[in-house]
Structure 1
Amino acid sequence: MMSIKIGTVEKIINEREEISELLVKVNNEDYKAILYKKLTGKVSVGDRVLLNTTAVELSLGTGGNHFVICNLEDAEKGLSSGGHIMKLRYTPYQLKVFAAEEQDSKYHGLFNEFKSLNNIPVIIGTLHSMLVPVSFMARHLDKELKIVYIMTDGAALPISLSKAVNNLKNKKIIEKTITVGNSFGGDLECVNIYNGLIAAKEIEKADLIIVTMGPGITGTGTRYGFTGVEQGQIIDAVNTLGGIPIAIPRISFADKRQRHIGISHHSITVLKEICKTKAYIPIPKFNNDNDSVLLNQLIENNIDKKHEIKYYNVNYIDEVLNACPFNMRSMGRNYMEDREYFITAALSSQMAIDLIQNQ
């Protein structure tokens, strides 16, 4: 069951094209709330709104805001024109999108005519916080590179929630976005990762494709119980379509949880068991005791035999990321608190550029 309350809009704190951040009063207390315009339309100060208050009442770090279900002052809405593909299907929030591959789309034929990704590098992450270091590093290495970001439905579903995506697009670091599955709000909508990858190549003419889930990840502390398992399935999808999958290993020496020290158990599970095909994996050389920890994990789990591993010195990447103007945080830690994590993510772009230049 969700918790639902009625509140009044006190202030519009911030407004972007597809999202509004609000201050709402509920039972004489002020709370922050998020409104997605594709779902509920706009609101004005003084409007009464119906709110999903579940995340705040559970004190969740991810999604710890109220969310607007509808504007009670303007509850009746009509359909926009075009499209018939539903996302968030069979829920009270289902919405219609015009998917790039559907029959009435001008792009429909491209999907049936598709042959291959022709060795386009596809960088596949597991956490949304990998997106900034990956894309910033790629743009640093190649100013002309056309970068397309595909957001999966492994975490947050509205792409407009991501301030990182908004900032990267505004600075022309990411050219276009594609939302697949039940995620929504990208420049293009597709029904699954396969057609998302095809759209990135055939419609957006990508030189480099980055795939991660949106903000937030679900983990249960169990072997397979985390949404990042999708990385393995995406690796296989990229290989099926003729691309080059570059898997970012989740590496940290700052996490307090032992299962995430060095190469996270999430990455080990994906690379050892979930994916059935080979990925390219960049591994940093920190020139300290951390290197032996990483090497032992790769050998003990036979990841070095299953995948294409390449080791990189990281001093120059440290310099680049220190100059990054965008906020980089993961699990509450900033760049200086978890350097190994962000450096490893950025290394994937160096590997992608190397592969492009060697073709």
Structure 2
Amino acid sequence: MIRWRKGRVERVRREWPGSVELEVAVDGEPGRDGEIVRALAYPALVGRPEPGDAVLLNTTALALGLGTGGYAMVVAVPDRLPPDPSGPGHLVKARYTPLQATVLGADEQDSPHHELLRDADSLDGMPVIVADLHSALPPILAGLLAARPGTRVVYVMPDGGALPAWFSMAIGQLKAAGALAATVTVGQAFGGDLEAVTVHTGLLAARLVLDAEVVVLAQGPGNLGTGTRWGFSGVSAGEAVNAAAVLSGRPVASLRVSEGDKRERHVGVSHHSLTAYGRVALARAQVVVPDLPGEFGERVARQAGTLADRHELVRVPVDGLADELRTAERDWGVRLSTMGRRLDEDLAYFLAAAAAGRHTASLL
């Protein structure tokens, strides 16, 4: 289940909020002793490794060649342990794993926000944009903010992908650029500006504590899929629609669309979107259908049409959005990429997400 290795830090490659990327010489790889690998450490969990430190590594993701998580993960710096945590907090996340962490939940009794959230029950019609993949976050923001600059947007991150929000370089870049106000991590996910127990209290905290005008809700980096009808982490998108609706929010569903994916089940409208919104979501949402050109656009519209009995379909033009996406990538310093494909390699994916943002701006 876990590939354990020892190693020694050679150098720090780069840092972003919550994460340090390292080069580590690994001990104990048969025939590869001393090999230099990329490793990732979360200082809030293990302390900050420095060159020369001995580190304990989990090399499982590296050995599997995972595209999103292809790092050796630093489990401990055994010769220089971090100090014990101080301060309030009784929520345990990554529960009963060796790296379970205690955080202060916005909704727990010791929180200054507990009284505000204790009986809270409404989002007061706030739009909640739901998407499958983390890579949809930047293009959604690009479409939204191009149409309505200055909108206060909060990202709610459930636990379908990465658990630490720190794994995402995009979150830090978007916050630094002023495109994203804050992040709330819910469920087993952690590392946001606020922590919450469930998607429901995370949405309420975003609205009532962080004054969000709009929430974007999508899993963190990485996702799990098995090529089966139901075996993928993105089913949570349908559950998020239900949560937004039951709290009197306004669910807006962003379709996962691709023209560049080699897998037929993801070409056009992905089966992930069709299953999550067509089978899992029991509440009504506005499903944004990007008005893409040509036969491919007709295919997307036809596939999205299968959701019409359950949801309101909203056709949204995409003119000018490609330029807005390029501007956002340049000005925010965020790399637009999904499943290893850049903007011009799968433009339809990014246009569909940006269209969801553009439509949401019209609701405010």
Alignment correspondent of 1:198: 204
Aligned-pair identity in percent equals 38
Alignment correspondent of 2:350: 342
- Mapped to 2, the partners of 1:57 and 1:90 lie a distance apart of 24
- Mapped to 1, the partners of 2:14 and 2:131 lie a distance apart of 29
Q: Which runs of structure 2 are paired with 1:38-187 in the superposition (5 Å)? A: 38-75=44-81, 77-187=83-193
Shift of 1:291: 2.5
Structure 2 residue runs of 5 or longer lacking an equivalent are: 27-32
Counterpart of 2:274, as a letter, is I
Secondary structure, counterpart of 1:89 in structure 2 = coil
Alignment correspondent of 2:41: 35
Secondary structure, counterpart of 1:39 in structure 2 = helix
- Mapped to 2, the partners of 1:17 and 1:131 lie a distance apart of 17
Counterpart of 1:46, as a letter, is G
**1:15 matches 2:15:** yes
Secondary structure, counterpart of 1:93 in structure 2 = coil
The CA deviation string for residues 63-97 of structure 1, in whole angstroms up to 9 with x for no partner, is 11100000021136413221111001111110100
The CA deviation string for residues 223-270 of structure 1, in whole angstroms up to 9 with x for no partner, is 000000000000000000000001111111111111111111111111
Counterpart of 2:277, as a letter, is L
Shift of 1:138: 1.7
- Mapped to 1, the partners of 2:85 and 2:342 lie a distance apart of 42
- Mapped to 1, the partners of 2:335 and 2:16 lie a distance apart of 18
- Is the 2:286–2:312 Cα contact (8 Å) retained in structure 1? yes
Counterpart of 2:322, as a letter, is D
- Mapped to 2, the partners of 1:13 and 1:194 lie a distance apart of 38
- Mapped to 1, the partners of 2:216 and 2:143 lie a distance apart of 12
- Mapped to 2, the partners of 1:287 and 1:9 lie a distance apart of 51
Alignment correspondent of 2:295: 289
Of 32-41 and 289-298, more deviation after overlay is shown by: 289-298
**Equivalent position to 2:311, from 291, 307, 310:** 307
Alignment correspondent of 1:331: 339
Q: 1:18 to 1:76 in 2, by over 3 A?
A: closer
- Is the 2:242–2:283 Cα contact (8 Å) retained in structure 1? yes
Q: 1:16 to 1:333 in 2, by over 3 A?
A: closer
Q: What do you get for the CA RMSD once the two structures are aligned?
A: 1.2
- Mapped to 1, the partners of 2:163 and 2:121 lie a distance apart of 29
Secondary structure, counterpart of 2:8 in structure 1 = strand
The CA deviation string for residues 294-326 of structure 1, in whole angstroms up to 9 with x for no partner, is 232234x3x112111111221221221132222
User: What TM-score, normalized by structure 1, do the two folds share?
Assistant: 0.96
Of 14-23 and 220-229, more deviation after overlay is shown by: 14-23
- Mapped to 2, the partners of 1:100 and 1:215 lie a distance apart of 23
Q: Which runs of 4+ in 1 moved over 3 A?
A: none
**1:316 matches 2:320:** yes
The CA deviation string for residues 153-199 of structure 1, in whole angstroms up to 9 with x for no partner, is 10001111111111000011101111111111111000110000000
- Mapped to 2, the partners of 1:312 and 1:90 lie a distance apart of 45
- Is the 2:121–2:204 Cα contact (8 Å) retained in structure 1? no
- Mapped to 1, the partners of 2:86 and 2:17 lie a distance apart of 16
Secondary structure, counterpart of 2:294 in structure 1 = coil
- Is the 2:144–2:359 Cα contact (8 Å) retained in structure 1? no
Structure 1 residue runs of 5 or longer lacking an equivalent are: none
- Mapped to 1, the partners of 2:210 and 2:129 lie a distance apart of 16
- Is the 2:185–2:194 Cα contact (8 Å) retained in structure 1? yes
Shift of 1:143: 2.0
Of 285-294 and 194-203, more deviation after overlay is shown by: 285-294
